[in-house]
Amino acid sequence: MATINDVCKLAGVSKATVSRVINRTGQVKESTRKVVFDAMEQLNFKPNSLAQALASNSSNSIGLIVSTFHGNYFGALLKQAAMLAEQAGKQLLVTDGHNDPLLEIEAVDSLVARRCDVIVLYSRHMSEQDFIALKQRISIPIVMINRQLQDKSCYAVCFDQLHATQLAVNQLLDMNHKQIACITSPLDSPTGLLRLQGYQDCIAQHHIPTNPALIAEGGNTIESGYQACQKILLTGAPFSALFACNDNMAIGAMKALTEAGLKIPDDISVISIDNEAASAFLTPPLSTVELPIEAITDSAIKTALALADGQKVQAGTKEFRGKLIVRDSTAYLRKK
């Protein structure tokens, strides 16, 4: 692979000059620019970005850690992030955090070793304490996605989980449902806990006692929603509506309900959170809460870009709100 020295020889100029034409920096006479350019073409020369990064002390890249590569949710996030990074002329280095706080830290370290200009971390499980420690340890700015942080000196963006949950559950309550089942997200994560809490708060505000038989923990997958719903059905506890903490679990639950001979929404109303692409095309179409995944990604990446650029950025957590989308899986409770 041709190096800058090969170009120098062929063009008969110094490395400094070649560097200037590569980077369009400083003054270069048009005629010598052309000579250098032709030499680069002829040798099929591509500057080694590792060497550039080392010499200029800037890798011109932003590191992104996602919880998992799986699913439409992170697909949308990655797509948006890649687009913004490209627009800004930055490399995007993407890493899989494997949904595990320890592996997330490893992922961050690998990004640190590659000297990213800034790191964006989407974490479901890392404790705030660990995050702060991490932030102190590395000397690269880091922005967190998906978490409401107490520490106001951190950069973070997240969804208003309680609000999203309220939108969903209140919709059921407004339709006169009293006996509302809930399939939760994994309860070892802050998001899972917040959504469960939101559900419980809404129920409590309407002076409805919580019924543990109507709550089952899921794993965010279709299959887990199916199983959790079967578990609730098995208790025999009556309910007229179901709130699933994400669309995938709602899809699984709808299957379990249908198999149990229940009609949606005639017998059971179903609502959830996410607005996956498939949700509008289910039978019946799923009522859900859309989360502004593009907007949150935008905010995180733009903050990161500004930080990488050395700009002063307002610290703290920015919160984004979801939007209720009512479709045909929810209906008013019929008087019996």
Partner DNA sequence: CTGAAAGCGCTTACAG
Instruction: Give me the residues that bind a copy of itself (CB under 8 A), please.
Output: 1, 44, 46-51, 53-54, 59, 68-72, 74-76, 78-79, 82-83, 86, 91-96, 109-110, 112-115, 137, 139, 221-222, 226, 248, 251-252, 254-255, 258, 277-278, 280-283
Q: Shortest distance, CB of residue 86 to a copy of itself, whole angstroms?
A: 8
Contact between 286 and 327 (Cβ < 8 Å): yes
14 sits near DNA (criterion: CB under 7 A): yes
The stretch near DNA (CB under 7 A) out of 17-25, 77-85, 181-189, 277-285 is 17-25
138 sits near DNA (criterion: CB under 7 A): no
Q: Which CB, 16 or 51, lies closer to a copy of itself?
A: 51
From DNA, a copy of itself, none, interface partner of 17 (C-beta below 5 to 8 A by class)? DNA
x/- site string to DNA, residues 31 to 50, per CB under 7 A?
A: xxx-----------xxxx--
Q: Which CB, 24 or 312, lies closer to DNA?
A: 24
Question: Dihedral through CA 232, CA 236, CA 241, CA 242, nearest 10?
Answer: 0
Which tokens belong to 242? 């179901």
Q: Shortest distance, CB of residue 79 to a copy of itself, whole angstroms?
A: 4
β-pair type (118-122, 142-145): parallel
**Closest residue by Cα to residue 268 from 214, 223, 320:** 214
**Closest residue by Cα to residue 81 from 323, 301, 304:** 301
In whole angstroms, what is the distance from residue 314 CA to residue 302 CA? 12
Kindly determine how many residues on this chain lie close enough to bind DNA according to the rule CB under 7 A.
Answer: 33
110 sits near DNA (criterion: CB under 7 A): no
Q: Shortest distance, CB of residue 214 to DNA, whole angstroms?
A: 56
In whole angstroms, what is the distance from residue 1 CA to residue 40 CA? 12
From a copy of itself, DNA, none, interface partner of 132 (C-beta below 5 to 8 A by class)? none
From DNA, a copy of itself, none, interface partner of 75 (C-beta below 5 to 8 A by class)? a copy of itself
From a copy of itself, DNA, none, interface partner of 5 (C-beta below 5 to 8 A by class)? DNA
Q: Shortest distance, CB of residue 121 to DNA, whole angstroms?
A: 22
Q: Shortest distance, CB of residue 1 to DNA, whole angstroms?
A: 7
From a copy of itself, DNA, none, interface partner of 74 (C-beta below 5 to 8 A by class)? a copy of itself
Q: Shortest distance, CB of residue 56 to DNA, whole angstroms?
A: 4
Instruction: Report the residue from 28, 92, 145, 249 that binds DNA according to the rule CB under 7 A.
Output: 28
Instruction: Report the residue from 42, 56, 197, 283 that binds DNA according to the rule CB under 7 A.
Output: 56
Contact between 291 and 274 (Cβ < 8 Å): yes
Q: Which CB, 75 or 186, lies closer to a copy of itself?
A: 75
x/- site string to DNA, residues 67 to 106, per CB under 7 A?
A: ----------------------------------------
Can you give the binding site for DNA, defined by CB under 7 A?
Answer: 1, 3-5, 12-20, 22-23, 25-29, 31-33, 45-48, 51-52, 54-57
